[in-house]
């Protein structure tokens, strides 16, 4: 595949689909056979690419996908994904016919929502729903046994409303202290125990819980961050029972190289001053790509050497101090490896004082994603240019 014809700026992310597949294979080997994997591909698969990750996850054994919003589920349907898709976030009751027609499973947690849905749902429709219990996350979900009983009655009296699943979400599964986790788990079990009929799919665990707390697996787990090769938190990283490989890397090519004299300045505000004669390279990536201004000072790899970003990061470009003169077109790796050096997503998260989840998510759609399998480019997504464009 000739990538040059599909994007025209030398900045791109590479997503190694083999790594995602291997991570999932490792994870499922660690789970028992009767536990289904729901692959969480919301937010464009944490910035990696929804369709490509969904395909690989399903191939590696996931039986269902999960997204945050109906738009994300419909986008996957439009791209040809036919597997069950669960919407984890809130959907509007007015949209239930669209969900039912597209075979999209929605999350429900309000009696009034169900009643509204009942009123407008077509006569012969079947709407699959998962009931969300708030056991302590404080985000979405019913909190009382009274609510659960009332919702159950609504399901029982209307065959169009199919209670396909029930779930909760843990607030502290990625911490070493499991006191709060156990409280949530026991509240969930209490709720399950008062139901007349348990729905077919019962799930509570995100990546951290699925790997660290076997007692919370029930018959399905929602796997997100570890599928992408990242640990759910720095604290539990050393305890994880699987070896993970990061799938996302970020690269740019130096578009201009110059020598600065001592005292010469770089970028807006002229805040960087060359301390001596130095070589400087310009990279076509900036804060509009998600490489935000807080990353000033962060190193990138050039010719296998760590090279710091100097001066303020601009909207579309930034400058790096080079180890020595290198040719225009030299690849700079912002996330990933060159020779013996590597810059992990965790290093960037640490610099930004945030979690690794946020890093690939904030690399904007302007950065094309190149999909790699067996070291070769197999497909590419560049939302700026239609796939069918020919240049
Ligand atoms: C409800 C729910 N389940 C599962 C996940 C996946 O979590 P993780 O990426 O930690 O596996 C998320 C992610 O935020 C979520 O919101």
The answer, yes or no, to whether any atom of ligand 1 lies below 6 A from the CB of 88, is: yes
Is the beta carbon of 296 within 6 A of some atom in ligand 1? no
Report CA(317)–ligand 1 centroid distance (Å): 33
Atom of ligand 1 nearest to the CA of 46: 9
- Could you give the CA distance from residue 249 to residue 16 in angstroms, rounded to a whole number? 8
Pocket perturbation via mutation, ligand 1, pick of 41, 42, 86, 88 by most ligand atoms within 8 A of CB: 88
Which of 224, 234, 359 to probe ligand 1 with, by most ligand atoms within 8 A of CB?
224
Taking the centre of ligand 1 as the mean of its atom positions, its distance from the CA of residue 224, in whole angstroms, is 6
Mention every residue, 6+ apart, whose C-beta is less than 8 A from residue 198: 166, 192
| Pair type for strands 305-310 and 299-302 | antiparallel
Tell me whether residue 227 is annotated as binding: no
Q: 375 C-alpha vs ligand 1 centroid, how far in Å?
A: 29
C-alpha distances in angstroms, 78 versus 71, 73, 81, 168? 10, 9, 7, 29
What is the Cα–Cα distance from 68 to 62, expressed in whole angstroms?
17
Residue with tokens 């050393």: 238
Domains along the sequence of the chain with CATH: 31-228 (3.20.20.10), 248-381 (2.40.37.10)
| Residue 185 Cβ < 6 Å to ligand 1 | no
Return d(Cα 7, Cα 337) in angstroms, integer: 23
Is 369 annotated among the ligand-binding residues? no
State the burial class of residue 309 (Cβ atoms within 10 Å of its Cβ: 0-12, 13-18, 19+).
Answer: buried
What pLDDT is recorded for position 391?
63
Phi, psi of 297 (to 5 degrees): 95, -25
Ligand 1 in reach of 220 Cβ (< 6 A): no
Query: What is d(CA 390, CA 30) in angstroms, rounded to the nearest whole number?
Result: 46
- What are the average pLDDT values for consecutive 10-residue runs of the chain, which has 391 residues? 74 98 96 96 98 98 98 98 98 98 98 97 97 98 97 97 98 97 98 97 98 96 98 97 97 98 98 98 98 98 98 98 98 98 98 98 97 95 74 63
CB atoms within 10 A of CB 197: 9
Crossing angle of helices 179-193 and 145-157, in 10° steps, is: 40
Cβ-based burial of 268 (10 A; exposed 0-12, middle 13-18, buried ≥19): exposed
Compute the distance from residue 177 Cα to the ligand 1 centre, in Å.
Answer: 19
Contact 299, 306 (CB under 8 A): yes
In this prediction, residue 383 carries a pLDDT of: 86
On whether the CB atoms of residues 321 and 298 are closer than 8 A, the answer is no
Q: Locate the ligand 1 atom nearest the alpha carbon of residue 206 and give its number.
A: 11
Please report the atom of ligand 1 found closest to the CA of residue 222: 4
Does the CB atom of residue 225 touch ligand 1 within 6 A?
Answer: yes
Q: Which letter does DSSP use for residue 35 in this model?
A: P
Report CA(206)–ligand 1 centroid distance (Å): 5
Given this model, what pLDDT does residue 6 score? 79
Strand 248-253 versus strand 104-108 pairing type: unpaired
- Cα 390 to Cα 8, 13, 74, 236, 249: the distances in Å are 12, 22, 27, 48, 27
Query: Any alpha helices (H) in 273-355, and if so which ranges?
Result: 345-351
> Whose structure tokens read 């996350």?
137
Q: Assess whether 42 carries a catalytic annotation.
A: yes
**Distances from the Cα of 37 to the Cα of 133, 220, 238, angstroms:** 20, 6, 23
Give the end-to-end CA distance of the chain in Å, rounded to a whole number: 14
Does the C-beta of 222 come closer than 6 Å to ligand 1? Answer: yes
- Catalytic annotation present for 167: no
What is d(CA 245, CA 273) in angstroms, rounded to the nearest whole number?
39
Are 380 and 370 a contacting pair, CB within 8 Å?
yes
* Active-site annotation holder among 59, 268, 277, 324: 268
Rounded Cα–Cα distance for residues 190 and 204 (Å): 14
Distances in Å between the alpha carbon of 269 and those of 53, 197, 208, 272, 277? 41, 66, 44, 8, 20
Which atom of ligand 1 has the smallest separation from the CA of 173?
10
| pLDDT score for 387 | 64
Round to whole Å and give the CA distance between 290 and 5: 24
CB 325 within 8 A of CB 256: no
Report the alpha-carbon distance of residue 226 to residue 203 in Å, rounded: 17
């Amino acid at each position: 595949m000739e990538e040059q014809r599909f994007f025209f700026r030398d900045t791109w992310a590479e997503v190694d689909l083999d790594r995602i597949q291997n991570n999932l294979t490792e994870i499922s080997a660690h789970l028992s056979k009767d536990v289904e994997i729901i692959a969480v591909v919301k937010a464009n698969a944490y910035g990696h690419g929804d369709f490509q990750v969904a395909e690989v996850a399903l191939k590696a054994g996931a039986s269902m996908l999960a997204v945050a919003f109906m738009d994300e589920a419909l986008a996957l349907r439009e791209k040809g994904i036919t597997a069950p898709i669960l919407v984890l976030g809130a959907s509007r009751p007015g949209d239930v016919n669209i969900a039912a027609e597209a075979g999209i499973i929605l999350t429900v947690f309000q009696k009034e929502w169900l009643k509204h849905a009942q009123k407008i749902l077509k006569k012969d429709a079947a709407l699959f729903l998962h009931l969300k219990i708030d056991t302590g996350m404080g985000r979405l979900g019913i909190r009382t046994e009274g609510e659960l009983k009332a919702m159950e009655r609504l399901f029982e009296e209307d065959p169009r409303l199919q209670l396909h699943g029930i779930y909760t979400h843990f607030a502290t599964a990625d911490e070493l202290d499991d006191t709060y986790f156990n409280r949530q788990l026991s509240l969930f079990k209490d709720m399950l125990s008062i139901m007349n009929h348990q729905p077919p799919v019962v799930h509570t665990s995100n990546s951290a819980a699925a790997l660290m707390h076997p007692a919370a697996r029930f018959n399905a787990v929602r796997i997100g961050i570890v599928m992408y090769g990242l640990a759910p938190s720095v604290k539990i990283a050393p305890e994880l029972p699987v070896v993970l490989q990061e799938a996302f890397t970020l690269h740019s090519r130096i578009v201009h190289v110059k020598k600065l004299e001592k005292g010469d300045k770089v970028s807006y505000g002229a805040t960087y001053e060359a301390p001596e004669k130095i070589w400087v390279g310009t990279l076509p990536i900036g804060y509009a790509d998600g490489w935000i201004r807080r990353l000033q000072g962060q190193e990138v790899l050039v010719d296998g050497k760590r090279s710091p970003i100097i001066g303020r990061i601009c909207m579309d470009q930034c400058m790096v101090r080079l180890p020595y003169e290198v040719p225009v077109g030299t690849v700079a790796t912002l996330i990933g490896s060159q020779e013996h050096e590597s810059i992990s997503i965790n290093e960037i998260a640490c610099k930004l004082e945030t979690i690794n989840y946020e890093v690939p998510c904030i690399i904007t759609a302007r950065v094309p994603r190149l999909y790699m399998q067996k070291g070769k480019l197999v497909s590419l997504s560049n939302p700026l240019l239609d796939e069918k464009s020919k240049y």
